[in-house]
């Protein structure tokens, strides 16, 4: 038996002789940790977790307290709003009641106002009627200058008598109940107001004046020269006496007649009339409102 065959090698020796290939890497063995170190790390980790949980709980408690406080404040605000709304509702109810009472009072006052206006209109109409009747025998002679600075009633009576003579109307001093000159603020000669004892005498004077002027030229119509008043020749206008309301309506009616080409506008018995032409009906002008409405038709 040869020596080669009896030679034996141990595994260690064999491993030593055998080197690993170049592409094979040796794995490093994990170092063995000490049990005390592991326990310490776990203990620290546990403490850290506890600390984090404590902080989180404290923070949550603080946030919960703040949230609870906010909720309490909100509830209180809601309660205050509810209380305010209740007070507002009560105030609105009171105001609504007061408003309804005011509306009722206003309605009553408006009704009273309408009734008062109607009553005032009736009083005005009654006063106008009484004034017209009280002056139904009265005429006006306008544009007659004063004969002297201090004019006497006898001077005015003479003017009326002379006018009657020119117009061929018999007038006696006893036929004149009253005569005076109306004051005039403008400084011009005020109209002479002559009240007769009868309506017929007044009517005769008015008709005679109209007839006298109708058949004469402008220069020959009734004037101051006609009745013997010295000085510049001034035309004299004779008309029936009108109340303040009547004069106003007569003025407006003449304007209306001129604008809408009405041929006739006159007064009779203290009332004002309009007539478009000879074939039209006469229209009684009772008030300014009547003229306003009549104006809408033309």
Strand, helix or coil at 69?
Answer: helix
d(CA 254, CA 165): 30
d(CA 164, CA 102): 66
Rounded to 10 degrees, the C-alpha dihedral 168/159/185/128 comes to -50
Band (230; pLDDT cuts 50, 70, 90): confident
- Are β-strands 237-240 and 264-268 bridged in parallel, bridged antiparallel, or unpaired? unpaired
Confidence at residue 16, expressed as pLDDT on a 0 to 100 scale: 46
Contact 283, 295 (CB under 8 A): no
> Could you identify the residue written with the tokens 């038709």?
297
Instruction: Give strand pairing partners of 240.
Output: 139
- Kindly state the average pLDDT of the residues 237-243: 94
Pick from 137, 126, 134: nearest CA to 175: 137
What is the overall mean pLDDT for the chain? 86
Confidence at residue 38, expressed as pLDDT on a 0 to 100 scale: 80
pLDDT over 70, % of the chain: 87
Contact 171, 160 (CB under 8 A): yes
The segment with the largest mean pLDDT, out of 142-151, 164-173, 183-192, is 164-173
Pick from 280, 270, 285: nearest CA to 137: 270
The residue ranking higher by pLDDT, 25 or 188, is 188
Determine which of 20-34, 69-83, 139-153, 183-197 has the lowest per-residue pLDDT on average. 20-34
| pLDDT exceeds 60 at position 215 | yes
16-75 confidence digits (pLDDT tens): 445 555 555 555 555 555 677 788 888 888 888 888 888 888 888 888 888 888 898 999
Q: Which two tokens stand for residue 99?
A: 């408003």
Determine which of 46-50, 93-97, 111-115, 239-243 has the lowest per-residue pLDDT on average. 46-50
pTM of the model: 0.62
Confidence at residue 247, expressed as pLDDT on a 0 to 100 scale: 92
Confidence at residue 200, expressed as pLDDT on a 0 to 100 scale: 94
Contacts of 142 (CB under 8 A, 6+ apart): 191, 192, 236, 237, 238, 239
Instruction: Give strand pairing partners of 176.
Output: 196
Confidence at residue 21, expressed as pLDDT on a 0 to 100 scale: 55
Confidence at residue 58, expressed as pLDDT on a 0 to 100 scale: 84
- Which 8-state DSSP code applies to residue 223? B
The residue ranking higher by pLDDT, 187 or 94, is 94
158-171 confidence digits (pLDDT tens): 999 999 999 999 99
């Amino acid at each position: 038996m040869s020596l080669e065959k009896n030679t034996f090698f141990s595994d260690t020796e064999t491993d030593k002789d055998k080197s690993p290939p170049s592409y094979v890497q040796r794995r490093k063995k994990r170092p063995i940790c000490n049990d005390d170190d592991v326990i310490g790390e776990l203990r620290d980790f546990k403490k850290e977790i506890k600390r984090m949980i404590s902080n989180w709980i404290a923070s949550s408690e603080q946030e919960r307290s703040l949230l609870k406080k906010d909720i309490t404040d909100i509830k209180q605000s809601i309660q205050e709003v509810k209380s305010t709304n209740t007070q507002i509702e009560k105030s609105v109810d009171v105001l609504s009641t007061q408003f309804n009472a005011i509306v009722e009072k206003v309605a009553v006052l408006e009704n009273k106002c309408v009734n008062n206006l109607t009553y005032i209109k009736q009083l005005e109409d009654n006063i106008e009627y009484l004034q017209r009747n009280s002056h139904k025998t009265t005429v006006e002679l306008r544009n007659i200058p004063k004969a002297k600075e201090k004019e006497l009633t006898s001077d005015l009576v003479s003017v009326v008598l002379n006018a009657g003579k020119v117009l061929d109307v018999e007038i006696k001093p006893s036929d004149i109940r009253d005569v005076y000159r109306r004051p005039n603020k403008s400084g011009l000669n005020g109209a002479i107001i002559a009240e007769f004892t009868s309506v017929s005498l007044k009517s005769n004077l008015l008709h005679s004046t109209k007839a006298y002027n109708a058949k004469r030229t402008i220069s020959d119509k009734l004037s101051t020269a006609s009745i013997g008043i010295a000085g510049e020749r001034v035309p004299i206008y004779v008309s029936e006496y009108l109340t303040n309301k009547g004069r106003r309506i007569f003025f407006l009616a003449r304007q209306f007649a001129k604008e809408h080409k009405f041929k006739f506008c006159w007064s009779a018995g203290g009332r004002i009339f309009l007539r478009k032409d000879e074939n039209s009906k006469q229209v009684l002008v009772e008030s300014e409102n009547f003229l306003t409405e009549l104006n809408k038709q033309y």
